[in-house]
A and B are shown apart, each in its own frame.
Chain A
Amino acid sequence: MTTIYEQRPGLSRRELLKRGTIGAALIISGRAVISPDKAWGMETTALKPETMATLIKLARDIYPHDTVADRFYAIAVKGHDTKAGTDAAHKELIEAGIADLDKRAGEGGYRALGWEDDRVKILHDIESTPFFQAVRGDLVVSFYNQKELWPHFGYEGESYSKGGYIARGFDDIEWL
């Protein structure tokens, strides 16, 4: 599992405002994608940071869980950057796929489309492409297999070390 590091990027609030990155938009700084609240940042090594920011948006549009923070989506797509570092074909697949998304979205690109419906319309058009399949196929594991996310779904994970559920509610349903 790739991890992202917590950081305080060296950008002042004033600088951020100057760049016009207000609201929920991810910030691009050098090789890094930074969350608007500056709670986390992720450096890219092979993919363009703008590509990574769009991948994060795309990941949320594929599996939209509104109460799950961006960093879980960032962790989930980080693997594409790692893979792109050693696999030129994969790098091309992702960069070209994102470029295509931006082109289809028109001025400002995919991330600038305000309504999810408008973005999803584009995704339906590219649903069968190798790019979309590669992103979705990877994401279904890299997103839902994050243990830190399981409490969101009410899933408790490993139970052997706690003695199973025999004394922890395997038959505790009361509303039937």
Chain B
Amino acid sequence: MAAPYDLNDDSVVVIIGSGAGGGTLGNELAQKGIDVVVLEAGARIEHEDFINDEWDSFSQLAWLDHRTTGGGWRVSKDFPNLPAWIVKAVGGTTTHWAGASLRFQEHEFKTLTNYGKVEGANLLDWPVTLAELEPYYAKAEDKMGVTRTNGIEGLPGNNNFKILKAGADKLGYKECHTGNMAINSADRDDRMSCQQTGFCFQGCKWGAKWSTLYTEIPKGEATGRLEVRPNSHVVKIEHDDSGKVTAVVYADKDGKLQSQKARIICVAGNSIESPRLLLNSASSKYPDGLANSSGQVGKNYMRHTTGSVYAVFEKPVHFYRGTTMAGIVRDEAKHDPSRGFVGGYELETLALGVPFMAAFLDPGGWGRPFASAMDSYANMAGLWIVGEDMPQEQNAVKLHGELKDKYGMPIPDVWFTDHPNDVAMRNHAYKQGEALYAAVGATRSFPTPPYPSTHNLGTNRMSEKAQDGVVNKWGQTHDIKNLFVSDGSQFTTGAAENPTLTIVTLAIRQADYIAKEMGAGSI
């Protein structure tokens, strides 16, 4: 058979979501001759139509469905209905991401073993090792064209990077460069090279940054085995009496409910929607939601320990020019408990335009201290902290008790509170970031609080034992053999690195597994 597929075709693999996990998995399966339907909640917006304007782009791409928040995090106070800054469009958050593509470190797959028991944290070792993932990391890096791998040159450093590098050198940091970026430093894979435009977060209008929107998805479609249905918002997964999942109910572009039959269902809706969907699919057979015999669906929500440091200099920087994430310091990414916390963090340059700087520099801030900071915008440099946060059971994506979406399904309620380890790490990173900029003459710096989460992780976590998590080492749910999770929600722990490369790596590996099991007739 070939795409498009009939709603009653029960031989297809249905993937929910078209981002790093879903888009990659869809293409990988299609390349193997497997029939795939990708249901994407958002519209299909081609890269030429992206907008070089922060608020206009936000309206075009961001996931703005109603959500609520709770817990001690400042995001809940400043942006109570925007826990996450992620995308609702074909390509998912790979349209918005900055492109940083770092492998996890070996010790980060074994946090319980290496960090020991941490009070209040729900640490667990991954059921996979770095060695098992290395061949797949290599495939992902080649697919995405990651700089400083496969003989691909690094990107040139912009002004923001040059300041980071000068400060890193002064502090004695050894590992500072323009990063491992899934952004073309030269033409590659029929995509052009980076034009240093800025606006990476608003979608790359050149297509120089890897996104499933214009790589995996069209490649999969070219096989005739992949159908992407945009504007298809999944509300429920159905199962038969034996417990196997059989169909996906979704609202089509007109809001009309449709049911797509399936042989296998893969959930890749990001770490808020994926657990929400499993919980909203509760039935008499699975009263706590699908794949939730462990009770871990929605739990252990992680978002990386983040924060930013912006600093003002005597002379202009124009840090918004060029690649948004233009360089990295990796020296603090190690696990060194002598710093007062377990795990590590990366420092990566970041720039915002004036509209978003006003919104995020010090949410709620006003008066002369705030306005004078904004007046120094042209002289600012900035970096983003991304560190490993502790999984905690009470940090969770829950179903709202009363509020429902337009299809009658409970909306997600996202709870998060920093673990003391997260706070200690962030404070250390603020101190290092401020010292780095002071070393090159900063006159003022701002320890800026975390933004709404772009790295949403852990809510359907991978575990060796069924009682500890939701999926096994292949992303297959412990409870239901033909139900998979294919996004960052399967992360057992978050590591210090940006998650996309690992999501893609796991998706490539999962495609091999699904194809093998389908071939063997076991699913």
Binding site for B on A (CB under 8 A): 61-65, 120, 123, 136, 140-141, 143-145, 149-150, 153-161, 163-166, 168-173, 175-176
Contacts and interface: CB of A to CB of B under 8 A. Distances in A.
A157 B378 CA distance: 12
Contacts of A166: 194-197, 322
A137 to B, nearest CB: 9
A172 B157 CA distance: 10
Given A157-B53, A157-B353, A171-B162, A63 B195 contact: no
A154 B318 contact: yes
B159 A65 contact: no
A160 B440 contact: no
Contacts of A153: 354, 374-375, 377-378
Question: Lowest 10 CB-CB distances: which A-B pairs, in order?
Answer: A154-B378, A164-B195, A164-B197, A170-B322, A144-B358, A158-B52, A170-B196, A165-B321, A173-B159, A153-B377
A21 B353 CA distance: 39
Nearest to B166: A176
Given A153-B377, A164-B322, A171-B158, 7 more contacts: A64-B368, A143-B358, A154-B377, A155-B354, A158-B53, A164-B196, A165-B198
Contacts of A154: 316, 318, 377-379
Contact of B157 (A65, A155, A161, A171): A171
Contacts of A123: 366-367
A166 B195 CA distance: 5
Contacts of B315: 175
B355 A141 contact: yes
A153 to B, nearest CB: 4
Contacts of B206: 160, 164
Residue from the set A61, A64, A143, A149 with the largest chain B CB neighbour count within 10 Å = A64
B198 A63 contact: no
B208 to A, nearest CB: 9
Given A144-B374, A165-B197, A176-B162, A159 B367 contact: no
Contacts of A149: 354
Q: How large is the interface on B (under 10, 10 to 19, 20 to 34, 35 or more residues)?
A: 35 or more
B481 interface: no
12 contacts: A140-B358, A140-B359, A143-B358, A144-B355, A145-B355, A150-B354, A154-B379, A156-B320, A165-B195, A165-B322, A166-B195, A170-B321
B366 A62 contact: yes
Contacts of A150: 354
Contact of B159 (A145, A156, A161, A171): A171
Interface string B355-373: 1011100001011101100
Contacts of A172: 159, 318
Interface in B225-277: none
B378 A155 contact: yes
A117 to B, nearest CB: 10
Contact of A63 (B157, B371, B377): B371
Contacts of A64: 367-368, 371
A148 B322 CA distance: 22
A173 B163 contact: yes
B217 to A, nearest CB: 22
Contact of A173 (B317, B320, B368, B371): B317
B205 interface: yes
A144 to B, nearest CB: 4
A64 B377 CA distance: 15
B447 interface: no
B156 interface: yes
B378 A164 contact: no
A145 B356 CA distance: 9
A2 to B, nearest CB: 15
Interface string B476-512: 0000000000000000000000000000000000000
A30 to B, nearest CB: 32
Given A62-B366, A164-B196, A165-B197, A171 B156 contact: yes
B443 to A, nearest CB: 13
B210 interface: no
B109 interface: no
Contact of A171 (B166, B322, B374): B322
Residue from the set A136, A143, A150, A171 with the largest chain B CB neighbour count within 10 Å = A171
Contact of A160 (B55, B197, B359, B364): B197
B311 to A, nearest CB: 13
Interface string B144-174: 0000000000001111001100100000000
A170 B366 contact: no
B391 to A, nearest CB: 33
Residue from the set B205, B315, B321 with the largest chain A CB neighbour count within 10 Å = B321
A163 B195 contact: yes
B199 interface: yes
A13 B374 CA distance: 37
B377 A145 contact: no
B159 A170 contact: yes
A149 B374 CA distance: 12
Contacts of A164: 194-198, 206, 322
A144 B354 contact: yes
Interface in B310-362: 314-318, 320-322, 353-355, 357-359
Contacts of A155: 320, 353-354, 377-378
Contacts of A171: 156-159, 162, 322
Nearest to B315: A175
